[in-house]
Every structure is written in structure tokens, then in C-alpha cells.
Structure 1
Amino acid sequence: MKKTTLAGLAAGIVIATASLGVATAQETQPANPKMNIYRATPPRINDLVHTKLAVSFDYKKRYLYGKEWITLKPHFYPTDTLRLDAKGMDIKTIAIVKNGQNIPLKFKYQDSLSLAITLDKVYRNNETYIVYIDYTSKPNELHVKGSAAISDAKGLYFINPDGTEKDKPTQIWTQGETEASSCWFPTIDQGQQKTTAEIAMTVPAKYVSLSNGKLTSQKVNGNGTRTDVWKQDLPHSPYLFMMAVGDFKIYKDKWRDKEVNYYLEPKYAPYAKQIFGDTPEQIEFYSKTLGVDYPWAKYAQIVVRDYVSGAMENTSATLHGDYVQLTPRELLDAGYDAGRSTIAHELFHQWFGDLVTAESWSNLTVNESFADFSEMLWAEHKYGQDEADAHNYAGMMGYMGNPENRTKNLVRFNYADKEEVFDGVTYQKGGRILNMLRNYLGKEAFYKGLNIYLKTNAFKAGEAQQLRLALEEASGRDLSWYFNQWYYGAGHPTLKIGYKWDEATKTQTVYLTQTQDGNGFILPMAVDIYAGGKKTRHNVWMNDKADTLTFKSDVKPDLVNVDGDKILLAKKNDSKTLDEYVYQYFNAPLWMDRMEAITAATPEQGNAGARKVMLAALKDKYFGLRIQAIKGLTMGNDDVRNAAQPILMDLAKNDANTLVRASAISVLGKMKAAGMMTLFNESLKSQSYAVQGAAVNAILLQDPQQGLTLAKGFESDNKGALTQALVRAYATAGGDAEWPFVSKQFNDAGLNTKFALMPEYAAMAGRVKNPAYAQDAISQIKDLGIKYKPYGVGPRVIELITVIKTGREKQGDAASVKAANEAIAAMGN
């Protein structure tokens, strides 16, 4: 599962790189007594063996009509009872299948959530039995809670089933994690359960279907429908079952002798290879790295509308939200995090999560931490160490951004609700912990340990202790200390670093102090000493909360680089001087070395050394650091401006990365320097929406009316940054005539874009003449604020509604002022 993200409100809440539920600004929540409840792994009374389903759909009623044959056996002890999860269904028949006959069984349907079935006799664990169930699933009549990762949990979703929503396809798809598969078929809805499967789907003949495993047969019926049979011959967990139905075009690829297919809406089908084309290479890379070949019959990826999360790793058939469905122009501006990392994440789950599944939600780390780690692993292989390190750092900041994360163990046996485990600790912190472990053990031993873990537990359930044992077997090293502090403990070190050079004794002293509350962390790390034109590495251990390290050196070091591999999951308060950071930028090799130096130099651009760093960083080999430097320039400083302006102009015209070009144009636009309009107008011809958007914004700053005129010319083709630029232009210089466009863009936008557009949307709503427009904006912003209030957006939403209120007061619009006051009151409750 890859979670949806909330990028944040401009100039307000920033939840960048964090997921919903991993916000940097959290409202204080009262202590929940349920947090003290030990969450035991559910007992296994019966085991699933095989699940056979025959389903059809009622689009008008939003129903699934199902017939099911479940093969089971007692796990160990004899039993004459069976409990199945079945949420919100009509149960018509439950029977035991004997000699081809259905013999009715007695059952109780408890709270319309679970079936307590009395079997026809006592069964022992060397016997299997088959239970038949005739049922109707009613997902739209079921009200169940989602999570930070999954915003809804009704299991089965009918998208635009009546075809009444313009420009939206009619689709059906499922979402099983955590325990929502039992909303569309009765089962033992536990990750530790494993079952083979066969699903016969009767669907409109004009549509295609997708499910787990192989499509083994298709039969055209006489009533405009077709029955497709999908067989999953290898066992997997119920939450990984999936179905999808709709008008999809299939792009057929392959890995070795296995099908690799991509299902997209027809208008995006021509771009399938550009979106998903790395998949065969990824499968090969992961297979070789892990020493375990991709285990399933095929691999398919499908993109659906209105998905309730980011993506889901259903066995052999990953389901993606439509944010990965991009045109070539959008792909020009799409960095690794704009879908590509998700594709890598979900594929890695086919091993960690699908082949070996977390035995309980307490051990979700063996699923999600690995998938998070895999994003960095693929970036390292495909795009280089800088991309991997930037991604790793973003994950660490996402975890640290929420103070609540500091209090949670990675393996968590106490929680109020299982959905809470899908958070920044399980994802981002867990991924960083695995990266540190790889660094400590070395890649060869680490991957050998993963190989042992996967092969030992294949088609079964696993937990963190089994991972520890596998890594110990591979490396020969004890890892209990590592797992105790990182897996079974909470928090991270806050590391204060100080330095002292003694010229008389030629001794460099490094003072390390962990200042966090509670116990200290054991930290193996590299300390690199740069002196006399060479680097010397020292591998050290910090075993106490305070440690003093001493190193001999013939000359005073130019730089002492603690955590030379930049691998520690720690907040570091480093007392390096600016001169040392300048040296670090030009001599230390890693992305974070350079990022730290740029960060240190940014506020000090009156210093010649800092300016040298900033100007050099404008040409850094990694595009993200070029952007950081561009955005950090102090253009009010004459020395900076005179040196940087020609470089910026060159970047704006020629940089290979469109986001760098857009950033350079944005800075040049704010300068309002003479002679720039030619550059801005030329940039309007770019195929990049980001570059075009930056150019529109720049022209808007020089001449608002010209910016407004230009904006109108782009209304028929705009996405992303260009859309935001048009909204900004209309909010700055437009009026009621432009409001319908702005309102539509806001309403049609995805979550991240909505929050990015919200300041301009609110500002314009305060200015337009029509009170109905203002009241619609107030309602839209209020609804978003209430929905995402638990993630810290409340104060900023109130601020924006107040902006609208102030504008309406100036116009004497009492009705809108009243609506604003009511919205603010609703946000306060």
C-alpha cells in the first residue's frame, strides 16, 4: 500500500513528503485508553485452503451477487465451528458440500459483521471440508472506518455506475487492505491466512476484467455479458484478492516468459510504456537482488478513478490511483516521486507482503517498511546515488515532521485501531532503519539475509523476529541490540556534535551527545577526517549518550564529517563553521554533504565563501540541489545578483531539467529586470507545463493585464504548474468572468493540487462580485478543512476563510460573511 500524500497549504501547513496522518502540524489528541490494549495475533481455528467465487454485478443497485465455495481445514485442534468475516451482506444460504449436495448449516450473523457457523460434525486437521455460501454484497450501504493510508473501507467500489458523471469512466474495483475483502466475499479476513483462488466474474461484454493470477477462460453469454475466470494457483492472503472491471486498454509487455500488462483508460493508453515501461527492468533487478525470482504467474498494473489511497499491491495485479496516469507533457515535469516511486514500491510488495505476509498488523513493518525502502533501492539503481539519498532524506523528514511518531514503536502490539499502524513510523522510519541496517551489514550480507527470510517463509506469514534471525544467519552477527532499539523501541537520537583541535598534541577531538529524552541509542558510524588533501575514514561506535572521540592528525583538519555515509536516522545539531561547510560542499561526495552546505550558506550570502557555494550549486550535478540553490539566492545582494543572473538566464533557457528551468524563470520574474520579457515569452512555447506556468507568473509580475490575456490562451490545455499559474493570474487580475474556470479547476483537482490552489481560490472568492461564487468557495474550503482537520489543516483553513470574509465585508455581502462565520465556527468544533 502506498499512501496518498498531502503536500500542504502554501505559506501555511507543510506536510511535504509526509502522508496523510504523518503531518508536521498535528492537533493535540486526548490519550486513548485503547492504546494500552495488547493486540494479540488472532487465533487460527480453521485455515483457508481454496476460495472459489462466482460473482456478478448490479450497477443500478451497486450490489454484488455472489456464490462461494470455501475449502477449509482445522488448523490444529478438532472443531465443529467456523467463524467467517462477512460485512454488511445478505446471506441467503450456507451449506456444507457433501457428495455434490448442499446440506444447509445453522449459523448466526453477528452484527452483520461475522458469521458463526455450526458445522455438520467435528473435523480434524487431516480433513478438509467445503462450505457453500449464496450471498449479496451491498458495499454502498456499509459504513466502516478507513485510515490515514486508506480513506474508506467498504471493499467494493462502483465508480460512475449509471454513467451520469461527464468525463468519468464507469468502473468497478476492490480494495482489501486491511480487512475489507470481507465486504465483498465471506472469508477469514486475516493476513496470516493463505488460500488459492478462482474467481468467475460475469461482467458487461464491452468491458475488460482483471483479477489475481491467470485468465484461464472467457465465455460470452447471451445477455450482453461475458464470464471471465481468473485462477490464482499459489496461496495468498484474503486482503490481496482483487477485481477490476471497466473500459481499459491493455498494453502487453513481458518479463522473461511472464506477462507484464498495463491497464489504462483509452486516452492514456498511448503513454502506457512511458508510464510503466520500467516494470520489466524493475522485476529483473529485484529478482536478482533478492535471489528470489518474481513468484507469481503474471504482473499487471491498472489505473482507476476515485481510488481511496495511493496504490495497492494485490497479488500479481497492482491497482494505482489515477495520479500516475500522465501525458507525455506531464511526464516532462514528473520527478521520481510523481508516480515512479509508487510503481517501485508496489512491485517490491510482491515479495514483501504478498509472498511473505505480515502475520499481524503489529508487524506491518515486514510489508511496508520494505516497500518504502525499495523506493530508494530502485532510485539508487536507476537514477543514481544522489536521487536515492534525496529520497531517503525526504522520508526521514516525513517521519520526523510529526512529533507523535517519536512515541511509537515500529513493531506495535498496543494500538487503538489497526489502521493507525499505517503511518510515518511503519513507512518512512522503517525504510530508513532498513537502509541503516544494509549499511551496517554490507549489501552482500543484507541481501543474503533477505533471501533467507523470503525462502524460509514463502507463502506463509512473517514477523520482525524472523527477519532478525535470517539476517543473523547470513551475517553471523548478533542483531538483538539493533532490533531492540529500532524495532521494539520508539524515537530516534538527537545528536549534538562539537569539535576541538589541539595544535600542541595534534589531536582532533569530537564530542558526541545524545540530547533526546530516555535511553541512548547504540550508533555505529563513520567519521571522515579531511586533512592535508586526503580523507581518512574511522569506523566508530557510540555506545553511550555522551561520547568523546579523539583522532591524531599531522595538520588541523579542514573538515571532520561525522556520519560520513550520511546514513543515521537522527536529528543532528552540528557545530561546523561556515568555512567547514564550504569545504564540505566542494570535497565531500554525497548529496547530503552538498545539501547541508547549501543550507548553511543560504543565510550567509554576504560571505564570499557562502556565495561561492551558492553559485557552484546552481550547476550542481543533481537537479534538486540546483533548485534548492536557485530558491535560496539572496537576489537583493548586489554581489549575488550580478554573479547569479547570467547563470540563471542560462539555466532558464538550457537546463535539461524542466523544474530547474521553471525555478530559474520564477526568480528572474521576481527581479523585474529589464530585457527579460523575451525570455519569458520564449518560455511560453515550452512543452513543459512547469516552464509555461513559471513564464505566465513572471509575465504577470511585469504586466498583470498581459498575464491575464496570456492565461486565457492556455485554458484549453493546462495541467499542474500551468493550471496554478492561470488560477493565480485570474485571482490577481481577473473577475467574475474568469470565476467558472477557476472554480472548475479547483473542484476537479486532486487533493495536493486543491491545497496548492486554495490561497488564490480564497483571494479571488473575496473579490468577485457574485455572492454565490463566494459562498460556494467557503463551502468547498470548509468541507476540505473538516475532512482533513485531524491532519493539522484547521488553523490555515480558518485563515483562508477569514480572507474571504474580509473581502466580502468590504463589499457589504452580509450573506457571505454569515456563511464564513458559520464555516469558521464549524472548523472550531
Structure 2
Amino acid sequence: MKTIYAAVLAGSISVCALSTVIAQAPKADNPELKIYRETTPKINDLIHTKLDVRFDYKKRYMYGKEWVTLKPHFYPTDSLRLDAKGMDLKTIAVVKAGKYIPLKFTYDSLTVAIKLDKVYQNTDNYTIYIDYTSKPNELKVKGSAAINDAKGLYFINPDGTEKDKPTQIWTQGETEASSAWFPTIDKPNQKTTEEIAMTVPAKYVTLSNGRLASQKVNGDGTRTDTWKQELPHSPYLFMMAVGDFKIYKDTWRGKEVSYYLEPKYAPYAKDIFGFTPEVMEFYSKTLGVDYPWYKYSQIVVRDYVSGAMENTSATLHGVYVQGTKRELDDRYYDGGRSTIVHELFHQWFGDYVTAESWSNLTVNESFADFSETLWAEYKYGKDAGDAHIYDDMVNYLSQPAAKTKNLVRFNYADKEDMFDVVTYQKGGRILYMLRNYLGNAAFYKGLNIYLKTNAFKNGEAQQLRLALEEASGKDLNWFFNQWYYGAGHPVLNITYNYDAAKKTQAVYLQQTQDGNAFILPMAVDIYVGGKKVRHNVWMRDKTDTLYFPAATKPDLVNVDGDKVLLTKKTDTKTLDEYAFQYFNAPLFLDRFEAIDGAKSKQTDKTAQKIIISAMNDTFYQLRIKAINSATMTNDDVRNSATPVLVKLAQTDENNLVRAAAITALGKLKAAGNLNLFKQAVTSQSYAVQGAAMNAIGAVDPQQAMALAKTYQNNAEGSLKQAIMGVYAANGTDAEWPYVYNEFKNSDVNAQFPLIRKMAEFAARVKNPAYTQEFITTAGAIGVKYKQFGAAPTIIQLLTNIKEARTKMGDTASADAADKAITPLKD
């Protein structure tokens, strides 16, 4: 699963899509944290699950018939317990020679205990028949930071009453929500083959796991599609989707690869998903295990409750991955493509071999997170891969509570808590370190052994360790004990001293974190006289001093030369050393650190040289970083940077760099740049257009208003955001309906950056009804994202609106603001 989270940073709301997990600080006195979460014991094993389902769109019900075949795992048993959440269970019977023999059962609304007709041995298979009704909308369940709902089965606009929203049905099983739509043993350590017959309105298409075995047109305007998944997988990976989707058929090595999209986006199917076969080929060759399932489908649905889900052979995505060709041209790797490869890698790590328990979720999600870096390296170059995994580390380090959590942990308040920055980003970075330590060949050989040994079964971190040890011949207990079964990370301070008399370079390393020292193998690169000498060293204690021979004072000592360590680092390099590092050390993070080192010292010519040079870096993200770091209030920086920015704004090959350059120029509010901005607003890039619109707004708000009206009917992405911002800052009641409707119908990633301007707009419009509709929407956002810390900011915005409307004599809006604030304070 790939997750989307909202973060509240520095008192203003922003969104970190696809990356930042909000790690809630655990309460030390929470008794649930003291409970050992054992791997679920296996009493009965699932073998085959057959479902026959039809849907009641009006009631939001699903009528199901199930035939589930099981056997005792080891010990004889005369009982069976199935998870079945919030259902009406009408009949439960054992099937014998085609006859249905009713069985006694007790049901508590979450699980059903069934008394079997006899004692079964582990050599005996038996089949249970269940006639039931699933009522997901009546189910009271708790979601999580990763998955904001857990009712399993979702009816989207079933009555067709929501304008411009399609009617759809889809499922979401992880963690244990499949049992909200069919009775099962809803645990990751179960595996079963599957057959689902879906009876749906004939105008719709369906998707499920495995292959479409048959289609039967019925006489009542419906059609029954039967899907068969003939290789075993876990119940949480079962899926169904029903709706008006257009299917684009692709292929990989003769296997069907298909993309299901709403008709509006069907022409862009190849642009959105077309690189999928290439990824399948790359992962198959890298892992030495060919893509294992019958087919691979991807579908985009409305109102999805998370980011995406790796259902076996049928991944489900939220709408953020789709877009027109123009929108996609602005997104680059992290604008949805990283999610696509993340879910595809799960088909091996998560589906083919599944975590034995949620405590071991790392063998699913850490690998999928790491796979994003793996593909970025292969497709876009080492800088792209290094940038991606560095972002992982930053996101992990930004969550203070995360340092208290083991990667593999058997004590948690709720299984959903495992979906956090530790499992995803920290786990991905740990694999990045491990690959560097073992070397690519041994690392991937170990993954191959792990996959083949545990194929269609379950795995955990210890099995991963054994596989990597078998491949490499190295003991890895120290690594796994430290990174998998321990918490936190090293906080590393680095200082230097060169002794000219002894011709020796000293490097002082100090770990300042609480607790024991981390064992850190690392490379130290010494640059002297234009040559680099590498030293491979180990830090085993909290303080260590390293000595290296050096005939003259080194130009640079580069600790962690491969830039792989997971650490919070303070490095005392001089500005001259950072300049040498930028121009001579090869890696993304070498140059990134140099830009950071220069950022706060731009009165110095050396810092200026780094910043201005980095505006032409070979990697686009570093060009953007340099642009955003430049202190344009400094005359020397501004005079040097302006011609570079003008050239970047006009000619850079990357749309986001052009947009960043235009944004930087716009902040100068120089009328002389207006023609450049007007030219840029005609670009085919929404990002460039949006930046230009904002820049024009900063220089000449009235021109921006006129241009906004010209472009608003064909605006998407960043351009639409900019138009909304221009209207919110300068508009009147005439512009309110457009801005508010676009805001209300946007996803959270578009809403949060605009919410302050929207609040200011709502505070000044003349029509109280406009103010009150925004108050209602803002209050709902605050409640929805209260768990992420959004409430204080929303309360402040609503308070500001209340004060402004009170001065205008609008007591009704002031009262509405008070009412909206109340649930945010609870």
C-alpha cells in the first residue's frame, strides 16, 4: 500500500503526498503498548474461497453466497472461527456430497464461531457454505493514519445524485477489512485460491484478481462475470471493482497488462501507465523471479481511502495518479509514477511472499518503498535515486516519535499503527544501506533466495536475514538487531583537524543519541592534490578518532562517501570545503550538502559561487534547490542570479525548474519581467503557466485578474491553483462561486495550500452565504484531519473570519464560525 498523509508544519497547513507519515507519539502509559502481538495461531487453513455476489445500490448492501474450503492446520478440530464484520448471516452449512447440512454457530458481529459436524484431521478438507448480506455503510469501524476508513466495501455515488461523479463499487482489504464483505480468516498468514462471480448491471465492467474466466449475460439487464485466482494469496489482497471504466490492453511477455480508467482519462492510459511492462521486465530480471501472476491490471477509482493498494494482479489507485498529457508532463517521477512502481513491486514483496504478521510489515512495505529508489536509479539516473531515498530519511527524521519504534515490533496499540515512517521510509533507507554494505550482486541474490524459498507463503525479517546471509556468506545478526529489532538512529557529529607536522588528518566522530552506539561501516574519502583515496572504516563506539596520512592538508574529507547512512548529521566543513565538495564529489547528496552549507552565508563570494553554479546543476531538483536558496535581497546574489534565472525561465528542459525560476523572478516584483511572464503564461506546461500567473499577480494584480478569466475554463493543475489564488487575493463576490466550487471539489493536496487565502476571501465577501459555506467546508476539513494536528490552524482561520464578519455586522457568519470551532476543540 502507498499512503497519502496530511502534515501540519510550522503553523501552516501543507500536504506531503505519498511520503510523509504522521507518527503519533505513543502514550507511555497506554496499556495496549504492553500487549505482545503474537502471530495469529493457525487452527484451520484456508484452501479455496468461492464467492457469488450481487449488489443493492439503493441499500448499499451486497448479497453474498460463499463456499470456503479449509482443513485443520495440524491439530484435530471440531470448530471454526471466521472473521465476519457487521453482516447478516442467514445460513451456515457444511457441504457433503452436494448436500448442505446446517451447522450451529454464534455470532458477535465481528467473528462467527461455527460448530463443525465432526472432528476433522489435518488430512481432511471440508467446505462450508454461507449465505450472508454485507452492510458496509452500517458498519462502525475505525480507520487509521494510513487508511482513513475500514469498511471494506465502498459504494461511490450509488444513486447517481452527485454531479460529475461516476457510480462505482470497489473494495479495500488491508489490513483486515476483507471480512467486511466476505467471511474469512482475515489474517496475513493465511493463503487461499479464489473464485468470484459478480452479477452487475450489464453496462458496467468488472475487475478482480486473476483471470476473467467467463461472462454470462442475464435476462434482467445484468451480467455475471466470473474471475478466478488460481494461485494462493492472502484474504486482504482480494479485490473487486465495478463501474464505467475504459480498458486499455497492453502486454508483457504474452501476459495481459491492462489499465482501467474513467472515459475522460482513457485517451491518456498509455501516458499514465504505459511504462508498466518495462518495470515488470526490470523487476523480474533484477530479482531473478519472473512476475508471478496471470495478469497485471491497474484501476483508478474515486474517493479512495488511501493512496493505492497492491491487490494481487489488480492494483487499485486513487485519482491522483491520473491526468492529461499536459498534467503528466509536470509531474516527473514523484507525481504518481513512484506509486505505480511501489505497488508493482508488492506483487513480489507482499503478494508472492506475504508478511507473516503485521509486526513484520517491513518485508512488505519497506521493500516497496525501496523499490521506488531502485526504479528511479535505473530509469532516471543515480541522482534521482539518491534524491528519492534521501527524502525518505528526511521524512523519517522529521517525526520525533518515530525514533522510539522498532522496525519489527510486537507491541503496538493497533495494527494500523505499523503503517508509519518507520515501516516505510526508515525501512526503505535501511535496505539502501544493506545493499551498499553487501554489494548489489549479493543483495539481489539474497532477495532471490528469500522469494523462492517462501513462494506463495509467508515471510518475516529473520527469513530475510538468513537468505541474505546465505547469499553473501556474511553474518548479519548485528545489522538486524540494530536496525530491525532496535529503535532510533545515530546522531553523528563530525569535526576535523590536520596536523601539518605529522602530516596526519584526524577525523573525530561522536554519536550523541541516547542509548548504545550504532555500528556504522562507512567510507571516508580523502581528496588531496586532485586525487581521491577511499578508506573503508567501522565506527563501533559512541566516540572514535580516525587518522589518515596526508602529505598536505586535504581539500576535502568526505565522511560517508557513499552517502548511505541513516543518521542525523552535523558536519563542520568550512565553506571552502563545501565549495570543493560541490565541484568535485560525485553524488547528489554531496552537492545538496554544499548548497545547504552555502545557503546561510551568501554575503560570502564562495557561497555565492556555489549557489549560482548550482542553478545550472545537471540534476533538476538541485537546480530548483539552488533557485529557492538564493537570497535575492542581496545585491550581489540578485545581480548574478537574475540573468541565470531569466535563461532558466525561458529555456530549461524541465518544467518545474522553469516554474521555480519564474517564481523567484516574480518575487522581485519588477515590471521589467512582465513580458517574460506573459510569454510564459502561454506555455503548454501548467506548472509554468501557474508560476507565471502568480508572478503577474505580484506585479500587476489587475492584469492577473484579466488573464485568469481568459484561462479559467481550460485550467488544470498548477494553473488552476494559481487562478484560484489570484481570485482569492483580488476577487469579489463575482469570482466566489468559481473559486469555492473548485476548492470544495479538489483533493486535499490542492486544498491545503489555498486554505489561508480562501479564509481571507471568505472574510471579506459581501454575501454572508458565501462566508458560511466556506466555514462549513473548513470546519469539516479540520475535523477530518484533526488527528494530524490540523485543528489549531483551522481554529485560527475561523476565528479570523469571525472577527472580520463581526466588524461587518454579520452575526450569522460569526455564529457559524463559533459552531464550526466547537468540535475542533473537543
Q: What TM-score do the two structures reach when normalised by structure 1?
A: 0.98
Match of 2:314 in 1: 317
> Greater shift after overlay, 170-179 or 695-704?
695-704
Match of 1:199 in 2: 196
Residue 646 of structure 1 is aligned with which of 643, 647, 652? 643
Match of 2:124 in 1: 127
- CA distance in 2 between counterparts of 1:819 and 1:9 reads 27
Residue 81 of structure 1 is aligned with which of 79, 82, 92? 79
Classify the secondary structure of the residue corresponding to 2:776. helix
Superposed CA deviations along residues 531-580 of structure 1, whole A, max 9, x for unmatched, are: 11111111100001111100001110011111111100100011111111
Change (3 A) 1:348 1:301: same
2:704 equivalent to 1:712: no
Match of 1:288 in 2: 285
User: What is the identity, as a one-letter code, of the residue corresponding to 1:51?
Assistant: T
Classify the secondary structure of the residue corresponding to 2:203. coil
8 Å CA contact retained: 1:18, 1:395: no
User: What is the identity, as a one-letter code, of the residue corresponding to 1:123?
Assistant: Y
Superposed CA deviations along residues 419-449 of structure 1, whole A, max 9, x for unmatched, are: 1011110000000000100000000000000
Post-superposition shift, 1:385?
A: 0.7
Post-superposition shift, 1:604?
A: 1.1
2:90 equivalent to 1:92: yes
Post-superposition shift, 1:330?
A: 0.6
Match of 2:449 in 1: 452
2:147 equivalent to 1:115: no
Question: Identity percentage over the alignment?
Answer: 69
8 Å CA contact retained: 1:366, 1:462: yes
User: What is the identity, as a one-letter code, of the residue corresponding to 2:3?
Assistant: K
> Greater shift after overlay, 352-361 or 676-685?
676-685
8 Å CA contact retained: 1:250, 1:264: yes
8 Å CA contact retained: 1:16, 1:398: no
Classify the secondary structure of the residue corresponding to 1:714. helix
2:724 equivalent to 1:724: no
> Greater shift after overlay, 473-482 or 704-713?
704-713
- CA distance in 2 between counterparts of 1:699 and 1:261 reads 43
Post-superposition shift, 1:17?
A: 6.1
Match of 1:568 in 2: 565
Match of 1:249 in 2: 246
Q: What TM-score do the two structures reach when normalised by structure 2?
A: 0.98
- CA distance in 2 between counterparts of 1:706 and 1:807 reads 28
Match of 1:50 in 2: 48
Aligned-residue Cα RMSD (Å) equals 1.4
Match of 2:399 in 1: 402
User: What is the identity, as a one-letter code, of the residue corresponding to 1:750?
Assistant: D
Match of 1:412 in 2: 409
User: What is the identity, as a one-letter code, of the residue corresponding to 2:82?
Assistant: L
Post-superposition shift, 1:401?
A: 1.1
8 Å CA contact retained: 2:8, 2:789: no
User: What is the identity, as a one-letter code, of the residue corresponding to 2:36?
Assistant: Y
Match of 1:777 in 2: 774
- CA distance in 1 between counterparts of 2:495 and 2:416 reads 42
Match of 2:102 in 1: 104
Match of 2:580 in 1: 583
- CA distance in 1 between counterparts of 2:551 and 2:687 reads 52
Classify the secondary structure of the residue corresponding to 1:191. coil
User: What is the identity, as a one-letter code, of the residue corresponding to 1:50?
Assistant: H
Change (3 A) 1:786 1:29: farther
User: What is the identity, as a one-letter code, of the residue corresponding to 1:812?
Assistant: G
Classify the secondary structure of the residue corresponding to 2:270. helix
Match of 1:820 in 2: 817
- CA distance in 1 between counterparts of 2:268 and 2:14 reads 32
2:461 equivalent to 1:464: yes
User: What is the identity, as a one-letter code, of the residue corresponding to 1:133?
Assistant: I
Post-superposition shift, 1:11?
A: 6.8
- CA distance in 1 between counterparts of 2:389 and 2:41 reads 37
Correspondence 1:607-622 to 2 at 5 A: 607-622=604-619
Change (3 A) 1:725 1:29: farther
Match of 1:263 in 2: 260
2:546 equivalent to 1:549: yes
8 Å CA contact retained: 1:147, 1:420: yes
2:143 equivalent to 1:146: yes
- CA distance in 2 between counterparts of 1:544 and 1:443 reads 28
Match of 2:66 in 1: 68
User: What is the identity, as a one-letter code, of the residue corresponding to 2:668?
Assistant: M
- CA distance in 1 between counterparts of 2:329 and 2:734 reads 32
Superposed CA deviations along residues 113-151 of structure 1, whole A, max 9, x for unmatched, are: 111001110000011011111111111111111111111
Match of 1:733 in 2: 730
Post-superposition shift, 1:720?
A: 2.2
8 Å CA contact retained: 1:510, 1:549: yes
> Greater shift after overlay, 805-814 or 506-515?
805-814
User: What is the identity, as a one-letter code, of the residue corresponding to 1:596?
Assistant: E
8 Å CA contact retained: 1:176, 1:240: yes
Classify the secondary structure of the residue corresponding to 1:120. strand
8 Å CA contact retained: 1:21, 1:791: no
Correspondence 1:236-385 to 2 at 5 A: 236-385=233-382
- CA distance in 2 between counterparts of 1:828 and 1:145 reads 21
- CA distance in 2 between counterparts of 1:700 and 1:330 reads 22
Change (3 A) 1:495 1:543: same
Superposed CA deviations along residues 615-668 of structure 1, whole A, max 9, x for unmatched, are: 111111111111111111111222111111111111111111111111111111
Residue 227 of structure 1 is aligned with which of 210, 214, 224? 224
- CA distance in 1 between counterparts of 2:13 and 2:515 reads 30
8 Å CA contact retained: 1:72, 1:128: yes
Post-superposition shift, 1:747?
A: 0.5
Match of 1:559 in 2: 556
8 Å CA contact retained: 1:196, 1:233: yes
User: What is the identity, as a one-letter code, of the residue corresponding to 2:4?
Assistant: T
- CA distance in 1 between counterparts of 2:290 and 2:346 reads 13
> Greater shift after overlay, 597-606 or 92-101?
597-606
8 Å CA contact retained: 2:329, 2:685: yes
Classify the secondary structure of the residue corresponding to 2:6. coil
User: What is the identity, as a one-letter code, of the residue corresponding to 1:720?
Assistant: G
Point out where structure 2 has 5 or more consecutive residues left out of the alignment.
none
Superposed CA deviations along residues 739-774 of structure 1, whole A, max 9, x for unmatched, are: 111111110111111111111111111111122222
8 Å CA contact retained: 2:7, 2:788: no
- CA distance in 2 between counterparts of 1:10 and 1:207 reads 46
Match of 1:39 in 2: 37
8 Å CA contact retained: 1:34, 1:415: yes
- CA distance in 1 between counterparts of 2:20 and 2:612 reads 36
**Alignment coverage as a number of residue pairs:** 826
2:212 equivalent to 1:215: yes
Match of 1:671 in 2: 668
- CA distance in 2 between counterparts of 1:307 and 1:177 reads 13
> Greater shift after overlay, 562-571 or 599-608?
599-608
Classify the secondary structure of the residue corresponding to 1:314. coil
> Greater shift after overlay, 814-823 or 131-140?
814-823
User: What is the identity, as a one-letter code, of the residue corresponding to 2:773?
Assistant: D
Post-superposition shift, 1:21?
A: 4.5
8 Å CA contact retained: 2:648, 2:657: yes
User: What is the identity, as a one-letter code, of the residue corresponding to 1:12?
Assistant: S
Superposed CA deviations along residues 457-491 of structure 1, whole A, max 9, x for unmatched, are: 01111100000000000000000000001000000
Post-superposition shift, 1:817?
A: 2.5
Classify the secondary structure of the residue corresponding to 2:16. coil
2:691 equivalent to 1:691: no
Correspondence 1:748-763 to 2 at 5 A: 748-763=745-760
Post-superposition shift, 1:13?
A: 4.5
8 Å CA contact retained: 2:330, 2:655: yes
8 Å CA contact retained: 1:188, 1:238: yes
Superposed CA deviations along residues 785-828 of structure 1, whole A, max 9, x for unmatched, are: 22212212233222322332333233232332333344344322
Post-superposition shift, 1:600?
A: 1.2
